Amino acid sequence: MSFDSHARSVLAASVEYVNRLTPGYAGGTPYPMPTDEAQAVADALAAIGYPQPAVQPKDARRLATLAARMRIVFESAQAGELDRAAAEINALLLDTNARPQLDRRADGWSLHFHGPDDTLVNGWAAGCAAGLALAVGSNLAGRLGVCAAPACDRVFVDTSKNAQRRFHSPQCQSRVKAATHRARQST
């Protein structure tokens, strides 16, 4: 897997935002739009190890809108529609005003992407758009996926060595394996 640590973190954030802020199905049950988007954003950040900040409702709504657009990227990449994924990413890059910047870290300089200011939403949205661009703009576009389990449309980034991941969670993988086993046993 050749995503660097920054790309991994913004792609993980993209996954969390899409999975927590967009309606659909998760693990075989309907997943509604969250009633408290600000808490969903804070939970998404906590899931990737970012300290839980106070999230303003208007910022959470903007991030939910952007998450729906990020979902388009995952779905398009999964379907092999890279032109559509690239078009949406280009629009996200423009809308978030993502700009590259070298940031000093303990081990030297690293390339990060920032929004027009340091607010939570602009920073993460620009970083997510750039992370998706790095994946689709390289040979790693096939690493963006949508869960293959029935009644589940949660997304993931395949960081496995063999690029064979098909499910967003071990629970969905187990659910499909158990259903396949039961089907074999009944025949």
How much is the pLDDT for 9?
Answer: 86
* Residue 54 dihedral angles phi and psi, to the nearest 5°: -80, 125
* pLDDT tens per residue, range 47-78: 888 877 788 889 899 999 999 999 999 999 99
Tens digit of each residue's pLDDT (9 = 90 or more) over 114-155? 888 778 888 889 999 999 999 999 988 999 999 999 999 999
pLDDT tens figures, 149-177: 999 999 999 988 888 899 999 999 999 88
Total domain count for the chain? 1
Please report the pLDDT score of residue 3 as a whole number. 64
Q: What is the reported pLDDT for 4?
A: 67
Identify the CATH number of the domain in which residue 21 sits: 1.10.3300.10
Domain that holds residue 154: 3-186
Q: What is the pTM of this model?
A: 0.89
Q: Can you read off the two tokens belonging to residue 58?
A: 């208007």
Tell me the residue length of the chain. 187
Is residue 24 over pLDDT 60?
yes
Residue holding tokens 């903007």?
Answer: 62
CA distance 78 to 140: 11
DSSP β-ladder status, 155-157 and 144-146: antiparallel
Q: Which two tokens stand for residue 3?
A: 């995503």
Cα 129 from chain centre = 10
Q: Is the model's pLDDT at 93 over the cut of 80?
A: yes
